[in-house]
Amino acid sequence: DAGVIQSPRHEVTEMGQEVTLRCKPISGHDYLFWYRQTMMRGLELLIYFNNNVPIDDSGMPEDRFSAKMPNASFSTLKIQPSEPRDSAVYFCASSFDRGRGIQYFGAGTRLSVL
Amino acid sequence: GESVGLHLPTLSVQEGDNSIINCAYSNSASDYFIWYKQESGKGPQFIIDIRSNMDKRQGQRVTVLLNKTVKHLSLQIAATQPGDSAVYFCAENIRGGGADGLTFGKGTHLIIQP
């Protein structure tokens, strides 16, 4: 298995633009997580899905952020409109073993909003 | 307490020496504890985990110790190698918590000196 695949690896955009980050989880995993990592706040959970259904989005910073999982092999995180403070590395992770909580992370998308 | 901005603790060890990375956790309800390794430009990578009913677990060159009395977790790496240089995170999987996501610590930067 190729692991969790995220795209793009890097995204540079201007304030106000829409940004869409993509994730393909490991086949067979039924949990998908979106995290944001910054120097100021470390690694933060934004939202997670179970069987394509959003379970907890309490970590989503504000209404500008939205996430979808239309099927078991694809998820998107969208920021509209983007702001400079959204600059961070965004990670997607997937898991099939809730008890142990072992999540497998993608390589991340480094977002820079100018 | 948490400082403004992340100033990761840094541990510098000589190649071949053993290293010990420490982590304090706060939630007694945590069921699993997990160590992740994050190399520069990559996502966190699972190293080893331990269940709350255990005190010690060993892997290849790594040992995790859990002291529930003082809510302390440690990761021991034997005979460190240059490839061990990374940021190491401990994470809790809180049983019955509202989110199935992991709660990550701030991380420790391990530097291996040649």
Cβ distance of A103 and B46 shorter than 8 Å = yes
**Higher-confidence position of A100 and B13:** B13
Helix H or strand E segment including B111: strand B108-113
Nearest to A107 among B43, B51, B100 (CB): B43
Bridge partners of A77, per DSSP, are A21, A67
List of chain A residues whose C-beta atoms are within 8 Å of the C-beta of residue B51: 100
Q: Which two tokens stand for residue B44?
A: 């966190």
Length of chain B: 114
Binned at pLDDT 50, 70 and 90, residue B2 comes out as very low
The pLDDT tens digits of the residues spanning B17-54 come to 999 999 998 888 888 899 999 999 999 999 999 999 99
Q: What pLDDT score was predicted for residue A41?
A: 86
CA distances from B5 to A5, A85, A95, B16 (A): 29, 14, 30, 32
- Quote the CA–CA distance of B18 and A66 in Å, as a whole number: 44
Confidence (pLDDT) at A1: 64
Low-confidence ranges of chain A (pLDDT < 50): none
According to the model, what pLDDT value does residue B100 have? 61
Q: How far apart are CA A27 and CA A25, in angstroms?
A: 6
